[in-house]
Structure 1
Amino acid sequence: MHDLASRIRRLGPSCGPVRLVGVDGHAGSGKSTFAGRLAGALDGAPVLRLDDIADHEALFGWTGRLLSQVIEPLGRGETAYYSPYDWRTRRFGPPRPLPPAPVILVEGVGAGRRALRPYLALLLWMDLDREESWSRGRARDGAEQREFWEGWVRAEGEHFAGDPSRPFADLLVRQRGEGYEMLNGPAGTGDSPRPLTQGDGPSAMW
């Protein structure tokens, strides 16, 4: 993880003074946990969770909101203010500040969508099969979210069918026990995934 953090720090800014790093993948694929660990390796880098930007009426129709509330202010080197959505009360809360930082992680399904990729310094894809991801997500959220998940599966499938992220990922992230394996993504090699190591040694594990 610290090797990945070092790599990110060496990247040039992608949105004003900020290096935006997208962490995308299917719902339930482990994005939040991974982003939290990566943020720690980056000395507490802020994490913008797309669950705070989306809402029940716009599961994937939040691009304009993200651009106006977050991307455009950061691009000018200004503090962004966004109103996080409460999924239980179905209301947006008071504005929350997001000052420019050397690195900001954008975590959530659709973080690598077409409209956001021009602002990303790096795109990471949590490489877990969608059925397994959704199964994990359902188990995590419990029976009370069963109806929501039925709608979500349809919406996510439609989103990625029209605007896939994985083909544009710089790195693929696969969980291996307590750690992670990083492989070059389709955008990083233009070829099949391979471990981020030289020669024939073991895969990079963090």
Structure 2
Amino acid sequence: MSATNPVVLIDGCSGAGKTSLARSLVARWPLTGRVQLVALDSVYPGWDGLDDGVDLAREQILVPHARGLIGVWQRWDWDAGAPAEAHAVDPSLPLVVEGAGILTPVTARLSDVRVWVDSPASSRKARALQRDGDAYRPHWERWARQEDRHITRDQPSRLATHVFAVP
């Protein structure tokens, strides 16, 4: 990886502030040119798909980018419950990938900057439900269990180069 096409991974539990941080980073990117942003919310294959979404991101986005190849991933259509249109990732451009579960021992080796966003569960839940409302409410606990497994198994905060606490 080089300074012209670095890879930034932003992980944290739902509602922690990953998307806001990623958008702010892209808007203030210090290098000239375009920056690619992939949100795993567009990749996870359904409410039980945290690990599968991370696997897809690794195989279809991060590994090709690291090898200098164009990566292609498909957006998950949450309403249809099926894959939708394809998107390409240019290996010559910087890449920011944000989403719960993205920071693992394997993905850490495919990145230059690794961020863990930490926030109390009560604050995260309030933000997430305000953002997504009744569509997310019945799935909060189900998704949180997958995040908990990821944190126990992968210890993303230990893999991070930067840790941000969000109240």
TM range (shorter): 0.7 to 0.9
- Corresponding letter in the other structure for 1:125: W
Instruction: State whether structure 2 residue 128 is matched by structure 1 residue 141.
Output: no
Higher alpha-carbon Rg: 1
Residue equivalent to 1:50: 40
Aligned pair partner of 1:159 in 150, 153, 160: 150
Out of 19, 24, 27, the position equivalent to 2:14 is 27
Alpha-carbon offset, residue 84 of structure 1 = 0.9
- Give the equivalent residue in structure 1 for 2:103: 112
Q: Which runs of 5+ in 2 are unaligned?
A: none
After TM superposition, the structure 1 stretch with the greater mean CA deviation from structure 2, 134-143 or 117-126, is 134-143
Amino acid in the other structure paired with 1:37: S
Instruction: Note the alpha carbon deviations across 1:119-177, whole angstroms, 9 max, x for none.
Output: 1101112232233212321222112322121311222122212222112211122458x
Partners of 1:150 and 1:174 in 2: how far apart? 22
Using the alignment, how far apart are the partners of 2:159 and 2:65 within structure 1?
Answer: 23
**Separation of aligned partners in 2, 1:175 and 1:101:** 32
Higher RCO (CA 8 Å, separation ≥ 6 residues): 2
Please, what is the CA RMSD of the aligned residues? 2.1
Q: Gaps spanning 5+ residues in structure 1: where?
A: 1-11, 177-206
Matches of 1:53 and 1:115 in 2, distance apart? Answer: 18
Task: Show the 5 A alignment for 1:36-75.
Answer: 36-42=23-29, 44-56=34-46, 57-75=48-66
Higher helix share: 2
Aligned to 1:89: 80
State the distance in 1 between where 2:123 and 2:105 align: 25
